[in-house]
Amino acid sequence: MRKTIILKPKEGCQVRKPDASALAKDGEEVIYNAYWARRIKDGDVIVLKSLPKVKSEKAKQPVANSSEES
């Protein structure tokens, strides 16, 4: 079993993953290897204990009042 860690880019940075895609701004779980050890040492990424909770779109939308008349 490979060790995984949760990383997010330092504020104002865009960090590329080994496959050239961007690391998610809010953080994502990655397999710990030499590449990520260098990013941590350089201060380009922040190690998180857990992923931040994402609010659903439903929670953000106001509920329409069905008793109102047009």
pLDDT confidence of residue 34: 97
Going by the DSSP 8-state scheme, the letter that residue 12 receives in this structure is T
pLDDT confidence of residue 16: 97
Q: Are 13 and 44 in contact (CB under 8 A)?
A: yes
Q: How far apart are CA 15 and CA 6, in angstroms?
A: 14
Of 34, 42, 44, the residue nearest 7 (C-alpha): 44
pLDDT confidence of residue 44: 96
What distance separates the 2 farthest-apart alpha carbons in the chain?
63
| Token duo for residue 5 | 């860690």
Compute the mean pLDDT over every residue in the chain, rounded to the nearest whole number: 85
